[in-house]
Amino acid sequence: MHEFTCGHQECSSQFTSHDKDNLMQQVADHLKDAHNVQTATQTLLGYLEATCVKSTSDR
Ligand SMILES: [Zn+2]
């Protein structure tokens, strides 16, 4: 399970998904809707993945 917690100030949105690609798509959509980031670059997503995503094994 992958869990994203938005690190933006005063935004504590969380998303979870079993599929990291799916999760990062949700993150990209969230950036667009909530933070006015029209284009989430791979660099930005990679940064967010490293800093805001926790991955746990739920097997
Ligand atoms: Zn956010």
* Span from the CA of 14 to the centroid of ligand 1 (angstroms): 8
Q: Would you say residue 59 has pLDDT above 70?
A: no
pLDDT of residue 36: 96
For the cut 70, the answer to whether the pLDDT of residue 23 exceeds it is yes
Residues 26-41, mean pLDDT to the nearest whole number: 96
Over pLDDT 90: what percentage of the chain?
Answer: 88
pTM here is: 0.89
pLDDT band at 57, cuts 50/70/90?
confident
Q: How far, in Å, is the centroid of ligand 1 from the Cα of 32? A: 9
Instruction: Quote the ligand 1 centre to 59 CA distance (angstroms).
Output: 29
Q: What is the mean pLDDT of the chain?
A: 94
How many Å apart are CA 26 and CA 15, to the nearest integer?
Answer: 7
Residue recorded with tokens 């909530």: 34
